[in-house]
Amino acid sequence: MAATPAAAVPTHPVRAAYFVSDSTGITAETLGNALLANFPGFVFRKHTIPFVDTVDAAAGVARQIAADDAAGREPIVFTTAKNPAVRAVVTAVPATHIDLLSGHLGELEQALGTTASEQLGQFHMLGDTTEYFARMRAVEYAIEHDDGQSARALDLADVIIVAPSRCGKTPTTMYLALQYGLLVANYPLTDDDFPAEGLPPLIAKYSARCFGLTTTPLRLSQVRHERRPDSRYSSLAQCTTELRRAEKLYARNRIPFLNSSTKSVEEMSAVILQTLGLRR
Amino acid sequence: MAATPAAAVPTHPVRAAYFVSDSTGITAETLGNALLANFPGFVFRKHTIPFVDTVDAAAGVARQIAADDAAGREPIVFTTAKNPAVRAVVTAVPATHIDLLSGHLGELEQALGTTASEQLGQFHMLGDTTEYFARMRAVEYAIEHDDGQSARALDLADVIIVAPSRCGKTPTTMYLALQYGLLVANYPLTDDDFPAEGLPPLIAKYSARCFGLTTTPLRLSQVRHERRPDSRYSSLAQCTTELRRAEKLYARNRIPFLNSSTKSVEEMSAVILQTLGLRR
């Protein structure tokens, strides 16, 4: 069979994308990426430039963007800088400029009948010591209770994530702790927990706060293979059995659950918050 | 002394704020919060409503917003739903509507000379298994290497965060792991590490990847007091000494460092990425 000629491979045009921020760049990155994801036919070479809060810093960014040839195509520049002088310097560069903040700030000023504060937005700032302590405590709680390591203070848990090994408990636990300051424990279902009909004794009395994860046998087998190749643990048969038993256990005990195989950590976290009625 | 009359306390007008999304709500929340932070004179009662991806779901949201009296003031509704039918239902409710996505999508369509994909933005979707594995591995690495627990595979670390106990190493480590899939270890400086002039032997050969944290003695004392009240460990004298020694150690070994006392986890992470030249 003849090789497919190279010209038949669809080419994805390359564009440079800049996320320019006067703070951490997280807002610019989050919204900018959400927007760019709608154009799957392109390849975007992404650059995040945080802490651009002076005209001098802005001039440096402008030079960098101007020097970016990106195959002769105009870069796309997402900006969240609040300072008009900083914005003016950045937007003077020939590029597609998308101002993520100031237009909406104007709409809010009109709706609230006041001008935006001259202080930097405090959302990503520490400011609130209480919030800092809550997050620190939540992350430490999550580490301590990872993989059922500790039964101590399980009564404090806002959520207990239950699942067979390698279904995605740990990253989801950590995301909920870090983003929302929630106390999240997780409990690994093992062969010892079956064929009992009820929940494992350690978590039985907290069933209202339990949330189950499942996945597809094939995916679980792949993930386990990374850890222990060619083992009984990673075999398709073992994975199929464990997942089937776990799903039965969830159903019998009315534990809400979801399939993690096509979901990101962010999506699973959003579903868990919504299902258990937890405030974000 | 007479109590201050209640009327003298400045009143912060209350407004309801809704973040309405057809996906996780994270983008709407992130940008919406960044915008609202510019109006510190108001108290916003915030509601995130994720997964609003049908006209029926949108109608439910519209009813909820319409029923929200919020002291007689119009709610503010931030929307990131892509589906025009969903948006039409939501925006029919009397409120201040701020469309975070579709205006910018239009700008991008024009710049790229194509229409946005009908598929949902894949940014928050798992999609990429490689990325999922990277994050899972990074979180597990962070847990394993928390608080200098393990010297194994320290040569794999992208970053080693060095600091006295309770300066904010753990939450920052976890944030870098979860958001950026970086392998981050952390190393607690103790009395045993002084008065040596050089870095502790375990991390000395990785000095180019080390980043130090410091804080103010008062704050460190407060944070330590939460863990061990009225101990030598939490005394202002001990905290002052440890921080002074740590800062000297960083300076002598050219370890970049920052003061965590007025910074959020997000800000510290952004500075670390920028200083060590790590790609996000």
* pLDDT tens digits for range A208-237: 999 999 999 999 999 899 889 999 999 999
CB within 8 Å: B266 and A24: yes
Tell me the pLDDT of chain A averaged across its residues: 88
CB within 8 Å: B39 and A117: yes
Q: From chain B, pick out residues whose CB is under 8 angstroms from the CB of A145.
A: none
Say yes or no to pLDDT of A122 above 50: no
Q: From chain B, pick out residues whose CB is under 8 angstroms from the CB of A40.
A: 117, 119, 122
Binding residues of B: 163-170
A91-100 pLDDT, tens per residue? 999 999 999 9
Nearest CA distance, A136 vs chain B (angstrom): 6
Domains in chain A (CATH in brackets) are: 11-112 (3.40.50), 129-275 (3.40.50)
Nearest CA distance, B132 vs chain A (angstrom): 8
Within a 10 A sphere around the Cβ of A207, how many other Cβ atoms?
A: 14
Lowest-confidence pick of A31-45, A85-99, A243-257: A31-45
pLDDT for B130? 76
**Which of A70-79, A124-133, A148-157 is most confident?**
A70-79
Q: What is the DSSP letter of B219?
A: H
B32-47 pLDDT, tens per residue? 998 998 898 899 999 9
Q: From chain A, pick out residues whose CB is under 8 angstroms from the CB of B100.
A: 31, 104
CB within 8 Å: A37 and B122: yes
Say yes or no to pLDDT of A3 above 70: no
A192-213 pLDDT, tens per residue? 877 777 899 889 999 999 999 9
Nearest CA distance, A237 vs chain B (angstrom): 22
pLDDT for A192? 81
The residues with which A46 forms a beta bridge, in sequence order, are A17
**If you measure CA to CA, which chain B residue comes closest to A50?**
B270
B78-106 pLDDT, tens per residue? 999 989 999 999 999 999 999 999 899 99
**pLDDT band per the 50, 70, 90 thresholds, residue A73:** confident
CA–CA separation, B238 and B223 (whole Å): 13
pLDDT for A268? 94
Average pLDDT over residues A70-79: 85
Q: Which residue is it, tokens 């809060």?
A: A53
Average pLDDT over residues A75-81: 95
**Residue, of A17 and B196, whose pLDDT is higher:** A17
Predicted-complex ipTM score? 0.84
Distance between first and last Cα of chain A: 57
Nearest CA distance, A224 vs chain B (angstrom): 11
H-type helices in B181-258, by residue range? 201-204, 217-227, 236-252
| Chain A interface disruption, residue of B264, B268, B271, B273, most A CBs within 10 A | B264
**Residue, of B205 and A130, whose pLDDT is higher:** B205
CB within 8 Å: A263 and B125: yes
Shortest CA distance to B107 belongs to which of B97, B96, B99? B99
CA–CA separation, B165 and B123 (whole Å): 36
**pLDDT band per the 50, 70, 90 thresholds, residue A178:** very high
What are the angstrom distances between the C-alpha of A201 and each of A142, A189, A204, A254?
20, 12, 5, 16
B229-256 pLDDT, tens per residue? 999 999 999 999 999 999 999 999 999 9
CA–CA separation, A207 and A214 (whole Å): 17
Q: How do the residues of chain B divide into helix, strand and coil, expressed in percent and rounded to 5? A: 50, 15, 35
**Residue, of A145 and A165, whose pLDDT is higher:** A165
CB within 8 Å: A135 and B178: no
Average pLDDT over residues A172-178: 95
Average pLDDT over residues A26-43: 90
Q: From chain B, pick out residues whose CB is under 8 angstroms from the CB of A23.
A: 267, 270
Extract the tokens encoding B44.
Answer: 């916003």
**pLDDT band per the 50, 70, 90 thresholds, residue B122:** very low
Question: Are A79 and A100 a contacting pair, CB within 8 Å?
Answer: yes
CB within 8 Å: A125 and B263: yes
pLDDT for B157? 95
B124-163 pLDDT, tens per residue? 444 467 777 888 899 999 998 887 777 778 889 999 999 9
Q: From chain A, pick out residues whose CB is under 8 angstroms from the CB of B126.
A: 261-264, 267
Tell me the pLDDT of chain B averaged across its residues: 88
CB within 8 Å: A170 and B140: yes
pLDDT for B71? 62
**If you measure CA to CA, which chain B residue comes closest to A146?**
B143
B172-223 pLDDT, tens per residue? 999 999 999 999 999 999 888 777 778 998 899 999 999 999 999 999 999 8
Instruction: Work out the percent of chain A whose per-residue pLDDT is above 90.
Output: 64
Say yes or no to pLDDT of A76 above 60: yes
- Across the interface, of A26, A37, A280, the residue whose CB is closest to B123 is A37
Burial of residue B165, with CB atoms counted within 10 A of its CB: 0-12 exposed, 13-18 middle, 19 or more buried: middle
pLDDT for A71? 62
**pLDDT band per the 50, 70, 90 thresholds, residue B75:** very high
**If you measure CA to CA, which chain A residue comes closest to B15?**
A112
Per the annotation, does A168 bind a ligand?
Answer: yes
Within a 10 A sphere around the Cβ of A210, how many other Cβ atoms?
A: 23
**Residue, of B210 and A191, whose pLDDT is higher:** B210
CB within 8 Å: A143 and B143: yes
Which residues are within 8 A (CB) of B275 and not within 5 positions of it... i.e. 6 or more apart?
B211, B256
Say yes or no to pLDDT of B68 above 50: yes
B2-22 pLDDT, tens per residue? 444 444 555 778 899 999 999
CB within 8 Å: B96 and A108: yes
Instruction: Work out the percent of chain B whose per-residue pLDDT is above 70.
Output: 91
CA–CA separation, B172 and A139 (whole Å): 10
- Across the interface, of A34, A105, A112, the residue whose CB is closest to B27 is A34
Our separate counts of H helices and E strands in chain A read 10, 8
pLDDT for B126? 40
Nearest CA distance, A271 vs chain B (angstrom): 8
Pairs across A and B, CB distance < 8 A: 211
- Across the interface, of B35, B143, B267, the residue whose CB is closest to A146 is B143
Average pLDDT over residues A259-271: 91
